[in-house]
Structure 1
Amino acid sequence: MNILTQNSSLTISSLQIAEMLGSRHDKVKQSIERLAINGVIIQPPVGVEQSTDAMGRNRLTQVYVFADEQGKRDSIIVVAQLSPEFTAVLVDRWQELERQQAQPVFQIPQTLGEALQLAANQALQIEQYKPKVDHYNAVVERKGLLNATQVGLKLGMSAIALNRILEEIGVYNKSVKRSRVFKQAFVNKGYGVLKQTEQGQTQSLFTILGEAWVIEKLQCEGVA
């Protein structure tokens, strides 16, 4: 799979997704169009990409292009719908590219003293920031996660109405009375995560895959 970097924007095309999945490009485009019509993703812009046909001839193919944060989200949803087992591969690739893009230019130490000083500085930074990082990962980090209110807005309903339906279809663990907690099976599928609030309470948050699943499920059931 070849993800391009153009004008400082990370991009991936529908053709590249089709090649990664081993699927026909037209089928991938149809899935993208269906998800866009249903409001699950935003219709991506059209581009042109060079490809090789069965006879080994180069030709230009019209593709959909996913770019930046919105494109990352939507491309993951497309792959999750078409072939869930490839979702982790796509997520890992996006994260790898983002790390490469964000990584500062590394200055190679020129002397043994500089190398030792660099190692000492890095060790000190790790020691200083570890408590903050642990707290951020366990409590604060919410990027890419959605609460019931945010998911409900996509469906035109309140969080109360959405949660009532999700309870009925078995998303929440009814044995937990004080708060709504996802069933472990829902979490294991990558649809949701459990985070702690600053007050130590458990909060159920939907991943982008969970958001897509809820929307598809309710639309198929004729609820939304």
Structure 2
Amino acid sequence: MSHSIAGLPAASIPGAAPSTMSTLEIAELTGKRHDHVMVDVRNMLFQLGKGDPEFRGSYRTAQNKEAPCYHLPQRECLILVSGYSIPMRAKIVDRWQELERREQAPAIDLNDPAALRGLLLSHTEKVIELQGQIAQQAPKVEAYGRIADADGSLCFRDAANSLQIRPVDLKRYLVANRWIYKRPGTMEWCGYSTRLVTGLLTHKVATIPHDDGHDRIRTQVRVTPKGLARLAEDLALVAA
């Protein structure tokens, strides 16, 4: 059974074996009240046919009083948050991956000069490799920079071709990094106002005639030359 030390869940203690995650940490990561998480855990354990004492633990409150909590292994933790929102689930999954990386990372003896030299050498090699990758990307980035002030704009497909990536990958990047979005109930992409104000994107309005005699107004998001230059720089850093 994992217990807290100095008010921290056991999974948060650097160097400890994070085999469980406290309901305190789950509440903090998801933004839910701890007592609500406790209720969720009890309901989950009941439906799974598991005993409550198996996961029961305690912690010290800010008033130095002992209070109940639960410590869940990864399986039960992920089952619990499967009913939560996607952003909440993502935070829990990211936390487990971070804890697993800590477990897999080799321990470094800071009192061992040989270990410290090896660590420094490894870091230096990575820096040199990164500098080389950036240098390789520099000519391409500079070329995009020269057209940043040019006239005209590009659709997603043409912008993707210019950046030498697939259109679907470009759209995925633009969505993930808050360049574009879709309004509920529509299929058309819109640019975030911050990207429009800074001149990275622009909206092009077109009138499309229909067979019934009515015209349909369509708004198309387009990438400006300035936006293309910015994307080239950002994608170069991602690739590095």
TM-score range, shorter chain: 0.3 to 0.5
Under a length normalisation based on structure 1, what TM-score does the superposition of the two structures give? 0.40
Larger Rg: 2
